[in-house]
Structure 1
Amino acid sequence: MRVMILVKATAESEAGMMPSSDLLKAMGKFNQDLLAAAILLAGDGLHPSSKGKRVAFDGQDRTVIDGPFSATNELVAGYWIWQVRDMAEAVEWVKRCPNPMPGPSEIEIRPLYELSDFAPA
């Protein structure tokens, strides 16, 4: 099963605060452990939403919205794509992750749809 691991943004990440060298080192080791376990498929950190854009759809209309976006706790600061046996394995790996932010933070785990999830057309 593939899952997307979403590192939720904080006020610090939205302000563009870069991780400490200790955190970068700890995350590097964690990523190496994921690679060694053949779990890590992809992953990256994201710039703050102030550097992003959204495109809103309404029928045929498209509206471009410039960041920053509100509701910081609903934004994403980074992600991984993992291949795991099941959700329980994903949870166990996330629990091993260094805290990705200098203060309280959250990581969300979401399963990705697979082709087998869709009924034959």
Structure 2
Amino acid sequence: MRYMMIMQAPETMSVGEVDGPPPAEVFEAMNRYNTALVEAGVLLAAEGLGPSAEGFELTNDGESPTVTDGPFAEARELVAGFWILDVATRGEAEQWARRCPIGPGVRLEVRRIHDMNDLEGIAPPEVLDAEAALRSRVAERAAQYEQSGS
């Protein structure tokens, strides 16, 4: 089963924002945690995200999409980063989440990622076939990306 751990933190806690970068100990603790995930063979992906000032939101009011540049003043917490884990059970996902070195004011939301077989019997077979073909193309693109190093 795949799970996504979504780190939510106040905007003021973004790396390099307001008070400068976090102390070296924060980076070291996160590196130890990520290393443990890799050594356990459960980490599929993990990334930190830039501050909302560098991003945008797209909303749809029913007529046409609207793009709003960041920062997003109305948000108290923003997604600061994520991990995608491949574990055997929900309990194992919870164990890894409990080990994550998040600090005060940070929230970690953990959600299961649906697999293709979760859609069997719900989505039409032709949609499932098309989705499987798309996922294959995405996997090929990811492999190319990894080989090119960019």
Q: Is contact 2:2-2:113 (8 Å) kept?
A: yes
SS in 1 for 2:41: coil
RMSD: 1.7
Gap runs ≥5 in structure 1:
none
- The answer to whether the aligner puts 1:13 opposite 2:13 as a matched pair is yes
Q: 1:59 to 1:12 in 2, by over 3 A?
A: closer
Q: What is the Cα deviation at residue 77 of structure 1?
A: 0.5
- The answer to whether the aligner puts 1:71 opposite 2:75 as a matched pair is yes
In terms of fraction of residues, the more helix-rich structure is 2
Q: Which one-letter code corresponds to 1:112 in the other structure?
A: I
Alignment partners' CA distance in 2, 1:86 and 1:10: 30
> Mean alpha-carbon deviation: is it higher for 54-63 or for 25-34?
54-63
SS in 1 for 2:98: helix
Alignment partners' CA distance in 1, 2:22 and 2:91: 28
Gap runs ≥5 in structure 2:
125-150
Q: Is contact 1:2-1:112 (8 Å) kept?
A: yes
Aligned to 2:135: none
**Could you list the per-position Cα deviations for residues 71-97 of structure 1 after superposition, in whole angstroms to 9, with x for gaps in the alignment?**
222x20010011011221111111111
Aligned to 1:4: 4
> Mean alpha-carbon deviation: is it higher for 5-14 or for 82-91?
5-14
Alignment partners' CA distance in 1, 2:51 and 2:13: 6
Using the aligned pairs only, state the percent identity. Answer: 36
Q: What is the Cα deviation at residue 26 of structure 1?
A: 1.0
Aligned to 1:106: 107
Aligned to 1:42: 45
Residue number among 77, 82, 85 corresponding to 2:85 in the alignment: 82
Aligned to 1:52: 55
Q: Which one-letter code corresponds to 2:76 in the other structure?
A: T
Alignment partners' CA distance in 1, 2:43 and 2:110: 14
